[in-house]
A and B are shown apart, each in its own frame.
Chain A
Amino acid sequence: MGRLGLRFVALGYLVVILVGPLLMMVWRTTEDLDGAWAAITAPDTVSAFKLTLLVTVIAVAVNTVFGIVCALVIVRGNIPGRGFLNAFIDLPLALSPVIVGFSLVVLYGASGWLSWFTDHGFEIVYATPSIALATIFVTLPFVAREVVPTLREIGTEQEQAAQTLGATGWQTFWRITLPSIRWAVVYGVVLTAARAIGEFGAVAIVSGNIVGKTQTATLRVEDAYQFSYGNYAPAYGISFVLAATAILVLVTMILLQPKGAKH
C-alpha cells in the first residue's frame, strides 16, 4: 500500500467513473462512423449546435461581467448586504436545474408575474430568451467563485500604487486589477462555457424542445436516444462532438496557462 496504492485507487476511480464511459462512447461512435456523421451534419443537429453556441456565448458574456462585478463588490465593496450576496451567489449550485427551469416558466409563462413580455409579442418561454436565461442562471457562480479568492489574495496595494501614480478608477481596473485576475477569469469562463454547453434540465423545461428551433445540442442527444429504435449512432455522434469540445476547451486552457499560475 502506501503512496503507490493510493495512486492506484485514485487512478482506478477516475477510469471507472470518468474515462470508462467516455471511452465506451468514443468506441461506439467509431463503430458506425457514417451514421454518426450523417446525424452530426443533419440540418436540425446543426441548428441545435448553433443554438447551444449562441446561448453559451450569451451566458459567458453576461456572467463574466456580472461575476467580476460581484466579486469586486464581495471583496472590495463596503456596502451592506455583501455577505448576503456572497452566500446567495452559490444558490444555482444547490438548486436543481429542473426547478430553475420550472420557476422561469412560472414567472414568464401565461399567468406569471412577467407574462407581460409574452402578451406583447416578445416570446420568452419556449424561445431562445428563456433558454439563455436558464443557462445564465445555472452558470452564474463560476466566474465570481474563481475571481473572489484571487482578488483577496492580490490585495489593494497595487491598486493604491496605481492611484498615487495618477490612474483613475477605470484605468486602475483595466491596467492593474483585470490583468491580475485574468487567469481566474479565464478559468471561470471555461467552467461557465462547459456548464452552458452541457446544461440539460433547466433548458429541457423552458425550451419546449422544438426540433430545429428551440432544441439545444444536449436536448438533441436526448431526442436521438429516445427515438433511436435501436440505432444509437446519431446519439453517439452528437455526444462525441460535445465531449470533444469540452475536452478541447480544458486542454487549451491548460496549454495557455503560464507556469506557476493558479489552478
Chain B
Amino acid sequence: MSISIRHVTKRFDDFLALDDVSVEVGSGSLTALLGPSGSGKSTLLRIVAGLETADAGSVSIDGVDVTGRPPQKRGVGFVFQHYAAFKHMTVHDNVAFGLRIRKRPKAEIEERVSRLLQLVQLDRFAKRFPSQLSGGQRQRMGLARALAIDPSVLLLDEPFGALDARVRAELREWLRRLHEETHTTTVIVTHDQDEAMEVADEVAVMSQGRIEQVGTPREVYERPENEFVMTFVGQAHRIGDAFVRPHDLEVTLEPNGATREVMVERIVHFGFSVRIDLVDAEGERLSVETTRDDAELLELETGQIIYVEAARQTMFT
C-alpha cells in the first residue's frame, strides 16, 4: 500500500527537524530514507507510524488520511534500532503480542506465530527470552513481531545499526528476499549509503530536515541533483568547481596538459579493489579507486609522484 507524505513540518523546541517534507512511497516498494544523523529521517518515519505528531502537513496510507490517528489504529509494523524486545516475554509471546491484542483465536495465533518463527529461523528459540538471544536474532524476532499483525506498511528505523558488519550484511540480504516474497510496502531508515543502495529500490536522500533527491539507487549515485547528494551518496572529491568520484580518476605516470601532479601517500588493498590515497602540492588530499590488476601494472610506491585526470566529472550550477 502506498504512503503519501505531504508538506510535513516538525519542530523540537528550536530545532527544525522536518521542513515542509513531501514524499510518495509507491505500493509494494522498498524505499530507503538515507541521510546523516539529525537529517530528520527517523522523525519522518516515526510520524508515519504515529509515534510523533507533525506540526503541519499530512500522512496518508493507501489513500486514507491517517494524520490524526494514534499508532494503534494505523496498522503499521515498526522495527526499532535497539529491538524494543519485550524482555519479560518469550520469543513466542513477543511475536504473538499483536495477535493477542487483536483477540485472534488461539489456534490461529499458534499457527501464525510458528510460521513466522520459521520464516525468521527462530523456531528453535520460541521458548527463550530475548536476553538469551544474539543481537541479530533479537532483530529477526522484532521483524517477526511486526509482521505478525499483517501490517499495511513495514517501517524499519535503523534496524541493523546496532549489529556487527557480517550480521548486518546477512540481514540486509534476508530483508531483500523477504520483501521479494511478501511485497509489503517497506520504508527503511539508514545512515549507511551501502545499505540503502543494496536493499532499496528507491532512495530518498535527506539532509537538515529536507528531501534532497528521490530516485533509484543508480539515479542518485550517477545523477545526483546537488552537491550534498554527490558527496553523501558515495565518495566524491572537489577539484576546482567540479566533483569527481574516486573511480573516475585516471592515473598516469607522465603529465599531459590536463593532469594534476600528486604524491602517493598510501596504498590500501581491499581484495578486488585498491585505493590510492594522494596528496597534491597544496596539501589537498584525494583518492583513486582502481582494480588490483590496474594498480599492479602501475607499480606504485609511497612517495612516488604521479599524475591524475578526471575521466568523468560533475558540476552543479
Contact = CB atoms under 8 A, between A and B. Distances in A.
B315 to A, nearest CB: 45
Contacts of A168: 72
Interface in A161-184: 161-168, 171, 175-176, 179-180, 182
Given A163-B51, A165-B101, A166-B102, A157 B84 contact: yes
A166 B87 CA distance: 18
B71 interface: yes
Contacts of B49: 164
Contact of A165 (B50, B70, B87, B98): B98
Contacts of A164: 49-51, 71-72, 74, 76-78, 146
Interface residues of B, number: 28
A171 B70 CA distance: 14
Contact of B86 (A161, A166, A182): A161
B232 to A, nearest CB: 28
Contact of B149 (A165, A175, A182): A165
Given A164-B77, A166-B101, A158 B85 contact: yes
A22 B102 CA distance: 55
Nearest to A164: B78
A160 interface: yes
Residue from B73, B77, B78, B142 whose CB has the most chain A CB atoms within 10 Å: B78
Nearest to B51: A160
Contacts of A161: 78, 80, 84, 86, 142, 145
For the complex, would chain A's binding face be called helix, strand, loop or mixed by DSSP majority? helix
B97 interface: yes
Contact of A158 (B71, B77, B87, B148): B87
Nearest to B102: A166
Contacts of A167: 72, 97, 101
Interface in B99-155: 101-102, 142, 145-146, 148-149
Nearest to A154: B87
Interface of B: 49-51, 70-78, 80, 82, 84-88, 97-98, 101-102, 142, 145-146, 148-149
Given A162-B101, A165-B98, A179-B88, 17 more contacts: A158-B84, A158-B87, A160-B78, A161-B80, A161-B86, A163-B71, A164-B50, A164-B51, A164-B74, A164-B77, A165-B101, A166-B73, A166-B101, A166-B149, A167-B97, A167-B101, A182-B88
7 contacts: A164-B51, A164-B74, A164-B146, A165-B101, A168-B72, A176-B86, A179-B88
